[in-house]
Amino acid sequence: MKRIYEKPVISKINAGMPDKFGMSNKMREVSQIDNINVEDITAEYGSPAFVVSEKTIRDTYKDAHRAFATRYPKVQFAWSYKTNYLDAVCNIYHDLGSWAEVVSMFEYEKAINNGVPGKKIIFNGPDKSKEDLKIAVDNGSYIHIDHFDEFYNLVEVLQDSEKKAKVAIRINMDTGIYPQWDRFGFNYENGEAWTAITRIMMQDKMQLAGLHTHIGTYIMTPSAYSLAAAKLSQLFLDIQAKFNHTLSYIDMGGGFASKNTLKGAYLPGKDTCPTFNQYADAITTAIISSGIDINHLPTLILETGRAMIDDAGYLIGQVIANKRLSSGRRSIVLDMGINNLFTSFWYNHDIYPAHIRSQALEDTAIYGPLCMNIDCIREAIQFPPVELGDHLVLERVGAYNMTQWMQFITYRPNIVLIDTEKKMHLIRKKENMDTFKTQEDTAYNAQ
Ligand SMILES: *Cc1c(COP(=O)(O)O)cnc(C)c1O
């Protein structure tokens, strides 16, 4: 039989540009968060909206805890409040066994308000007034002294106190990470830390309980932690030798990298981010091989923030415009911007459509809704076509965005938590005009 003639057609292959390894570059869609449809979340809570996954918080905590507890007998996590201090979030960490790690009186009050006992609060940071110090002493909290002026203030506070203060010092040091974070705490190499330790040991009303460091944030090299743990272990031994005093803990701070991709990074963060096992190995190996008697090992405290919660946070937004820039480049405008996403200054956040219309990816700039030029979420991303009202989901925004967000020309959005039973809870409601009316003083009106 003669086949029917069909005219030839040329059709574009929509497989997308290959990536730098020649692999096909396909965009995936994120239509659900913890099995709940993105549309169902926005139907109830509007757009934009932050979403927090309780399951991811719990799973990540367990992963981190297991990594350390299988390598070291005494491990205690302390939740870094500034990373995400929503009460609902903090209380999940406290339920899992975390203490509170706070860096201001505001955060200290939040921890107390969350029912954390004073003796399970670690008070860090360079700004503690005499009044703050007195409260921390009365509550039996661990005060991590940051500088000598704070030490002298504490000496004064203790003169009229019946209680002893439980203290540690924050120590900064060379761990091969530059620039060195030497603006916090006492320096190891120049002997300042040792002077601080000696001054504390001369105070009857101070009990030196531990040593603390926080070497930086998004540290991608576990070996930096080996060096830091070795230096703190050496101080632990020196204190035993000179003062016959055994510390109860070594606190390694936070700083583990999350799977977000730093701007300018060659490979995606999820391929370069060390595992909790690698960090745990670096730290615990340094301590147990230091010469500290293994029958009297100090408790190992960890204040992991970013790596613990980044994956549990999502931000949902909507497309409000498709646009061509004067160069012909494609751009889209969303209803969420850097006001919600402080971390977009240093991360290229992963962003996905809730539903893919086509794999015809095109180089795109993604902007927020603010009337400022810097409101850009992604300067260049291979992105599929979208239409007005389409939902997009940003992944890994659990750390620092819900604390560092700014209120600029609009209200802060709803924050929804999905619990382990897949139920949604509004854990922080969207701001409204009343938020401002309670704060602003209307007694003065020039009219
Ligand atoms: C911010 C901070 C943390 C948490 O840091 P991450 O990099 O988020 O892990 C821990 N300890 C101290 C003292 C901090 O200031």
Residues 285 and 422 both lie in one domain: no
Q: What's the 190 CA to ligand 1 centre distance in angstroms?
A: 24
Residues 337 and 410 both lie in one domain: yes
Residue 4 lies in a domain: no
Let me know if 339 is exposed, middle or buried by CB neighbors in 10 A (0-12, 13-18, 19+).
Answer: buried
Which ligand 1 atom sits nearest the alpha carbon of residue 219? 7
pLDDT of residue 445: 78
Residues 339 and 290 both lie in one domain: no
pLDDT of residue 200: 98
Residue 2 lies in a domain: no
Using the 3D structure, point to which of 308, 332, 349 is the last residue of a domain: 308
pLDDT tens per residue, range 231-247: 999 999 999 999 999 99
Residue 6 lies in a domain: no
Residue in 122, 147, 184, 214 to alter for ligand 1 test, most ligand atoms within 8 A of Cβ? 214
pLDDT of residue 180: 87
Residue 130 lies in a domain: yes
Residue 8 lies in a domain: no
- Averaged pLDDT, 364-382: 95
Task: Kindly indicate the confidence band of residue 447, based on its pLDDT and cuts at 50, 70 and 90.
Answer: confident
Residues 28 and 78 both lie in one domain: no
- The residues, ordered by sequence, that sit 6+ positions from 287 with a Cβ below 8 Å of its Cβ are 72, 229, 233, 250, 297, 298, 300
Residue 55 clears pLDDT 70, i.e. is over it: yes
Q: What's the 308 CA to ligand 1 centre distance in angstroms?
A: 11
Residues 289 and 333 both lie in one domain: no
Q: How many domains does the chain have?
A: 2
In whole numbers, what is the pLDDT of the chain averaged over residues? 95
Residue 443 lies in a domain: no
Which ligand 1 atom sits nearest the alpha carbon of residue 254? 9
Residues 47 and 138 both lie in one domain: no
- Averaged pLDDT, 83-103: 98
CA-nearest of 13, 42, 22, 36 to 318 is: 42
Long-range contacts of 178-186 (CB under 8 A, 24+ apart): 181/214, 181/215, 181/216, 184/126, 184/146, 184/214, 185/146, 185/147, 185/212, 185/213, 186/147
Residues 289 and 216 both lie in one domain: yes
CB-CB contact of 385 with 362 (8 Å): yes
Residue 22 clears pLDDT 80, i.e. is over it: no
Nearest CA to ligand 1 atom 10: 254
Residue 11 clears pLDDT 70, i.e. is over it: no
Q: Tell me how crowded residue 135 is: count the other CB atoms within 10 A of its CB.
A: 19
Amino acid at 246: T
Q: What's the 23 CA to ligand 1 centre distance in angstroms?
A: 37
pLDDT of residue 16: 55
pLDDT tens per residue, range 193-241: 999 999 999 999 999 999 999 999 999 999 999 999 999 999 999 999 9
In order, the DSSP letters of 354-407 are SS-S-S--EEEEEE-SSSSTT-EEEEEEEE----TT-EEEEES--SSHHHH---
pLDDT of residue 235: 98
Residues 266 and 328 both lie in one domain: no
Residue 20 clears pLDDT 80, i.e. is over it: no
Residue 24 clears pLDDT 80, i.e. is over it: no
pLDDT tens per residue, range 94-115: 999 999 999 999 999 999 999 9
Q: What's the 305 CA to ligand 1 centre distance in angstroms?
A: 6
Residue 10 lies in a domain: no
- CATH number of the domain at 240, please: 3.20.20.10
Which ligand 1 atom sits nearest the alpha carbon of residue 82? 1
Using the 3D structure, point to which of 278, 308, 338 is the last residue of a domain: 308
CB-CB contact of 174 with 187 (8 Å): no
Let me know if 17 is exposed, middle or buried by CB neighbors in 10 A (0-12, 13-18, 19+).
Answer: exposed
Q: What's the 13 CA to ligand 1 centre distance in angstroms?
A: 47
Which ligand 1 atom sits nearest the alpha carbon of residue 256? 9
Q: What's the 307 CA to ligand 1 centre distance in angstroms?
A: 10
pLDDT of residue 83: 98
pLDDT tens per residue, range 288-341: 999 999 999 999 999 999 999 999 999 999 999 999 999 999 999 999 999 999
Residue 149 lies in a domain: yes
Nearest CA to ligand 1 atom 3: 254
Residues 109 and 42 both lie in one domain: no
Percent share of the chain, pLDDT over 70: 97
Task: Kindly indicate the confidence band of residue 12, based on its pLDDT and cuts at 50, 70 and 90.
Answer: low
pLDDT of residue 6: 80
3-state secondary structure of 262: strand
Residue written as token pair 């007694």: 443
Residues 79 and 33 both lie in one domain: no
Nearest CA to ligand 1 atom 7: 255
Q: What's the 270 CA to ligand 1 centre distance in angstroms?
A: 20
Q: What's the 257 CA to ligand 1 centre distance in angstroms?
A: 11
Largest CA distance in the chain: 107
Residue 437 clears pLDDT 60, i.e. is over it: yes
- CATH number of the domain at 428, please: 2.40.37.10
Using the 3D structure, point to which of 308, 326, 343 is the last residue of a domain: 308
pLDDT tens per residue, range 265-293: 989 999 999 999 999 999 999 999 999 99
Mode of pairing for the β-strands spanning 99-102 and 75-80: parallel
Residue ranges making up the domain that contains 279? 54-308
Which ligand 1 atom sits nearest the alpha carbon of residue 83? 8
Residue 73 clears pLDDT 70, i.e. is over it: yes
Residues 378 and 261 both lie in one domain: no
Which ligand 1 atom sits nearest the alpha carbon of residue 218? 7
- Averaged pLDDT, 21-37: 88
- Averaged pLDDT, 65-92: 98
Report residues whose beta carbon is within 6 angstroms of any ligand 1 atom.
80, 82-83, 101, 103, 124, 214, 217, 253-256, 303-306, 399
pLDDT of residue 286: 98
**In this structure, is the dihedral angle defined by the CA atoms of residues 106, 102, 405 and 416, taken in order, positive or negative?**
negative
Residues 319 and 299 both lie in one domain: no
Task: Kindly indicate the confidence band of residue 18, based on its pLDDT and cuts at 50, 70 and 90.
Answer: low
**104 or 13, greater pLDDT:** 104
pLDDT of residue 2: 81
Q: What's the 294 CA to ligand 1 centre distance in angstroms?
A: 28
Residue 15 clears pLDDT 70, i.e. is over it: no
